[in-house]
Structure 1
Amino acid sequence: MNTSSPESRPLRSRLKSTGEATAILPTETTSPITVIGTEAIRDTFDEGCLQQAINSRRAPGVTEVVLNPDAHLGYGAPVGCVMVSPTHVYPGPVGVDIKCSMSLLQLDLPADAIEDRKTRRALISAICQRTPTGAGRGQRSAAKSRPVNRTVGKQLVTEGASVAVCDQLGIPSEWAECCEDSFHLGHDETRDALAMRLDRLLEQRHMSNFSDKMTQLGSYGGGNHFGECEVVDVAKDDRAQRAAQTFGLQDGNVAFLSHCGSRGFGHNLASGQFKTLQDKFSQWGIPLPAQDRQLVYAPLGTPEANDYLDDMALGANFATVNHLMINALVLEAFQEVIPGTQGSLVYFISHNIARKEIVNNQPAWVHRKGATRAFPGGHHSLRGTRYAETGHPILLPGNPRDGSAVMVADEGAAQACFSVNHGAGRILGRRHAKRVLDQATIDTELDQHDVLSNCRQYPMDEAPAAYKDFEEVLRSVKMAGLASEVARLKARFVIKDSSKADD
């Protein structure tokens, strides 16, 4: 007879299926955690990931936690989770790369315009001359980048993608209309709060390198950040066709998908916040949730919460302009190699951010850690936008071998706090991937799929086999009723950092 208590059983055994692609995870002391994923996907959740989800749900002020199909061990909270609180803000469920995001640029080129490998190699070279890759690299390492001085840097982190900022950086100002959020305001809904907070930050030691961090604008980081040239394949059903037309997707044409965030500036902000709040907890003698230093928090309305919200907004504004500038530089590179190329931004959407939204008829801060907002057509937040009837684009990266997806939310997204996963999600840790995967197999597989790269050897810890089965992840999202597929994106070449990962 099994006499073990529920608390002593493996956490995965406590998952209770509620449907083909949904489940709940009881916590014993709160309402259960919502879990999205087929049984095959749920089997990928390790004990650490599930324990972090429980710790997050039990933390002060938290009213809901959702675990998405891509969930894996993260910083305080799992990567691939949603955490809701109407009373507290948490840096951990936002993470150290504030507003890490996806963007998609649609080009007017047919697929056969990049069929030739020499053309693709020329495009890779032209892009890398403009958009550096790597943890510490900035504009000085790219011959054709666009310099950003300290004055413009201060303006962009407080204004985001304003017309003035876009004009100075050569970014089409209309692209701001295709952003989930083109700018972020301070804790009191003003830019003045951000300007005052920035002035205070610039007097602190950890921000002494502000000017240097501004030189990273228009660059990719390391780890899982990338730029990827795609061919768009729009689904044939009527709904997908209507959505694609609204989004500006062009079936059979070339597009460019980007993944990056707030670079070193965001990391400085987040690291400073963790240290400050951890010191406060120590001074006040407040117990940490689950004794986890990465789950520090601040009650809304306190000076600590105000400072965090201001810092998050500053980092988010940098990430926004970083993406838009990358897309402007990528378009410029295409125009150099294929004169006359035109491009337009499809969408820019974040997956490491806390946003104030209405949840269960009350305002709350929705923390999305490796999770993507998913508002369907008819959602009140989309009124007055081009996406009011269709819902906004959801950009889900998979891997260069299996492709990526553009989706749109269904009504069922409400069960996941109007969120979906942000990609496939890791199944192998970086060190583990380097131990068990074979470099020759990785490179041969991509070559067989005719996917080129700027790397002499594709990073082993970023190989497709290091990630979950993308088809099963998408199946989970569809079967749970969260979102439907609009288009697939087939990779033709990838821009990655082949040096030390900085995930």
Structure 2
Amino acid sequence: MPDAHQGYGLPIGGVLAVDNAVIPYGVGMDIGCRMALSVFDLPAHYLEQRTQELKKLLHNHTRFGNKEVFKNPANDPVLDRPEFKEIPVVKGKREAAINQLGSSGSGNHFVEWGIVDITIEDNDLDLPLGKYMGLLSHSGSRGLGAAIAQHYTKIAMSKCPLPPEARYLAWLGLDSQEGQEYWRAMNLAGDYASACHHDIHRRLSLALGAKPVAKVENHHNFAWKETLPDGREAIVHRKGATPAGQGVLGVIPGSMTAPGFIVRGRGERDSIQSASHGAGRRMSRTQAKQNISEGDLRRHLRDQGIELIGGGLDEAPMAYKDIHQVMAHQRDLVNVLGSFTPRIVRMDAGGGSKSRYGGE
């Protein structure tokens, strides 16, 4: 994908179709990480008029990192799934999953208010052309997904020894007990990540006092059973890449000062019906910390009119590729229906181990 950069096993921004097997590190650590967008029938200038109020809503109704959780986390049917009783590695993570429901990870994860601009009349969202206020979130399956990834990657490496340079591509056959276990656990983690986003958007919608008029959700770091264009069935791994089948909706974010895009997939055969999941890094986290100062970041945010709560130098917009160039490279993969421009951004204050739009 045009946002690709180096990772373990598959690159971030890598897509791989295989026959009747699943590669835990072809999925990645943050299983089912996703974007979720809510569009409100509120004018774009609402953001400028209520900036301090909206900042307070983000501060009061979101939680980030490993230390922040809600005192009274919401309940969700995903927490009653039988996998929590039937799969050993998952069984020990249910309590943490309950506590972390509705929270976001560190590093590249965020919740932000911004301006949605619908630019195509035939947009599948039943929205008239124009600008709206929007809420965009990016987060994944928290500790649950990480535990599943680590556990089954070790099993795959022990059962499928590969040369050192390829060891993270170790696979589990879907006919094996371990492969079936991982598949169920992966899908549980993906559904849990979705539940976290639904809770984030529910809390903030209630606090805002407005119901969304449209929603878009898409995920990466996952494996799907799909039929390829030539008719073969395959397990399609998208690590830091998103589905872009014919008519599939998604959000491809830029950076905290650059727009993201609401897109509709074109079902391109040569990309295995996939598109990028963001802008992708042009500097490593270490390079960003060495080359970007706190003053540089603050000036850039001020010039772009961005209010930032938390975040760090490793997530500075200058560390990311130009989203417009990335989108130009994938004109054959997606059609753009509109954009989302961030205005008020919240991220973990302590930083983290992931890049904003391209983590494992």
The alignment's TM-score, normalised by the length of structure 2, stands at 0.92
Instruction: Judging by fraction of residues, say which structure has more helix.
Output: 1
1:369 and 2:249 correspond: no
1:77 partner amino acid: L
Q: Tell me, yes or no, if structure 1 residue 498 matches structure 2 residue 353.
A: no
C-alpha contact (below 8 Å) 1:299/1:305 kept by paired residues: yes
**Which residue in the other structure is 1:403 paired with?**
259
Residue in structure 2 matched with residue 385 of structure 1 by the alignment:
none
The secondary structure found in structure 2 opposite 1:230 is: strand
Alignment match, 2:223: 354
How do residues 65-464 of structure 1 correspond to structure 2 at under 5 angstroms?
A: 68-116=1-49, 119-140=50-71, 146-148=72-74, 152=75, 155-157=77-79, 195=82, 197-202=83-88, 208-235=92-119, 240-243=120-123, 245-246=125-126, 248=127, 251-278=130-157, 280-281=158-159, 286-335=160-209, 341-359=210-228, 360-376=230-246, 391-411=247-267, 413-455=268-310, 458-464=311-317
> SS in structure 2 opposite 1:110?
coil
Distance 1:466 1:392 in 2: 29
Question: 2:333: which partner in 1?
Answer: 482
What are the superposed Cα offsets for residues 312-351 of structure 1, whole Å, 9 maximum, x if unpaired?
Answer: 011111111111111111212222xxxxx23144211111
Contact 2:70 2:99 in 1 (8 A): yes
Q: Given that residues 32 and 190 in structure 2 are in contact (C-alpha distance below 8 angstroms), is that contact kept between their aligned partners in structure 1?
A: yes
Q: CA deviation at 1:87?
A: 2.3
Measure, in 2, the Cα distance between the counterparts of 1:136 and 1:501. 13
Aligned partners of 1:451 and 1:491 also within 8 Å: yes
* Identity fraction in percent: 29
The 3-state SS of whatever aligns with 1:257 is: strand
Cα distance, 1:277 vs structure 2: 2.6
1:331–1:139 Cα change, 3 Å:
same
Output the CA distance in 2 between the equivalents of 1:130 and 1:232.
21
- Partner Cα distance (2:124, 2:342) in 1: 19
Structure 1: give runs of 5+ residues left out of the alignment: 1-67, 141-145, 160-194, 336-340, 377-390
Tell me the amino acid that sits aligned with residue 131 of structure 2. G
TM-score, normalised by the number of residues in structure 1: 0.67
1:165 is matched with which residue?
none
Task: Give per-residue Cα distances to partners, 1:436-469, cap 9 Å, x unaligned.
Answer: 11211111111111111213xx411111111111
Which structure 1 residue ranges, 4+ long, deviate > 6 Å from structure 2? none
Q: 1:298: how far off?
A: 0.8
What is the number of equivalent residue pairs in this alignment? 353
Structure 2 unmatched ranges of 5 or more: 355-360
Distance 2:117 2:199 in 1: 26
Asked if structure 1 preserves the Cα contact closer than 8 Å seen for 2:121 and 2:129, the reply is no
